[in-house]
Amino acid sequence: MNAEDDTVLCDTEGRTAVITLNRPRALNALTHPMVLRIDEALTAWDHDPAVAQVLIRGAGERGLCAGGDIRAIHDDAKAGTSASADFWRDEYRLNARIARYPKPYVALMDGIVMGGGVGVSAHGSVRIVTERSRVAMPETGIGFVPDVGGTHLLARAPGLLGVHLALTGSAVGAADALLCGLADHFVPAALLPGLTAELALLPVREVLERYAAPAPGGVLHEQREWIDHCYAADSVEEIVERLLAYGDPAAKETAELILAKSPTALKVTLAAVRRAGALGTLERVLAQEFRVSCHALRTPDLVEGIRAQVVDKDRRPRWSPAALAGVSGADVARFLTPLGDAVELPFPEADSTLG
């Protein structure tokens, strides 16, 4: 058996097809073969009348999925090869497919759900969080920009909560994931085995009636006032100034958190999220994210950010430029520049024109 063959387990339990991401030691981080395997399974189940719904979950106790395999992205960026772009092309198309899937797609967003983990869950039609859920798009901390349709999701969060999560990369619990539109239902983690067992016999909507419960309290609802005020500023510099001047300790801590991220990634992220809100469809946003990701692959901050956070783990990235003032509007615009027709990510089945 190929070493990759068991990294995604695909089974059927009664009327439910089950995808299990099976790299628990790597927090179920996605590889390219895993993305292809999921897509292959969804194709088969789409046309299988015996399958009424699909369930995705993560192996182990720590979470659904911590994201993509960023060590591989680091190595690819250093080598100047195209493996990451090839991976993103298939991953983003999978994200769009999940959003359009004709059968209920149930995501158990238990534990850590970050980056690519959001991409294979938060576009689903039934998204379940637990008291252990920690949902995030933490890309600015590695010199990258939220992708996998993350800017589409965050642009649609109430007020400016999505901009806050995009810039800070902060992880949220169940109540805040529900508030931000990243999840639909709360189910206590201890009840997940029972819920999964019942899904073999009954439609998910019927099962959820017995398992869904009110989520424990979050924090973002009480912070809406300063978040909506501060993030309404035109630039990242002005957002930071407002946060520092607001007078709430949480706002000041947020400013310090933002200033530790890649200045380039912060400015591109703000532009990408705001543009995503106007693009409309998920496909259009994924096409934009593909452009941004491919441009980011050739910038020093992505390699440096992954080095500092994952490879050497010194947590001391040396960003270039080192300050927000060093990132110009032209620098940001380059990330949104078309890649050329031969490289762009097309969605023939949907209008992906960016305008």
Query: Which pLDDT tens digit goes with each residue over 181-235?
Result: 999 999 999 999 999 999 999 999 999 999 999 999 999 999 999 999 999 999 9
pLDDT at residue 349 in the model: 56
pLDDT class for 353, splitting at 50, 70, 90?
Answer: very low
DSSP single-letter state for residue 311: I
pLDDT at residue 5 in the model: 73
pLDDT in tens, 156-174: 999 999 999 999 999 999 9
pLDDT in tens, 114-135: 999 999 999 999 999 999 999 9
Using alpha carbons, select from 21, 74, 58, 7 the residue that is nearest to residue 310.
74
- Percentage of the residues of the chain whose pLDDT score is greater than 90: 92
Q: Strand, helix or coil at 93?
A: helix
> Which two tokens mark 50?
């015996």
Q: Strand, helix or coil at 282?
A: helix
Question: Are 176 and 219 in contact, with CB atoms under 8 Å apart?
Answer: yes
> Which two tokens mark 225?
């006032």
- Please state, rounded to an integer, the average pLDDT across all residues of the chain: 95
Spatial neighbors of 233 by CB under 8 A, at least 6 apart, are 239, 241, 242
Give the strand pairing for 8-13 and 16-21: antiparallel
Q: Exposure pattern of 110-132 as b/e (b: 16+ CB <10 Å)?
A: bbbbbbbbbbbbbbbbbbbbbbb
pLDDT class for 4, splitting at 50, 70, 90?
Answer: low
C-alpha 178/C-alpha 195 separation (Å) is 19
pLDDT class for 355, splitting at 50, 70, 90?
Answer: very low
pLDDT class for 324, splitting at 50, 70, 90?
Answer: very high
Q: Strand, helix or coil at 329?
A: helix
pLDDT at residue 81 in the model: 85
Instruction: Report, as residue numbers or ranges, the catalytic residues.
Output: 68, 116, 139, 147
Spatial neighbors of 48 by CB under 8 A, at least 6 apart, are 17
Mean pLDDT, range 308-317, rounded to an integer = 94
The residue assigned the tokens 């993030």 is: 231
Mean pLDDT, range 274-280, rounded to an integer = 94
C-alpha 105/C-alpha 96 separation (Å) is 13
pLDDT at residue 3 in the model: 47
Q: E strand or H helix at 54, and its extent?
A: strand 53-58
HEC sequence for 5-33? CCCEEEEEECCEEEEEECCHHHCCCECHH
C-alpha 123/C-alpha 57 separation (Å) is 14
pLDDT at residue 346 in the model: 84
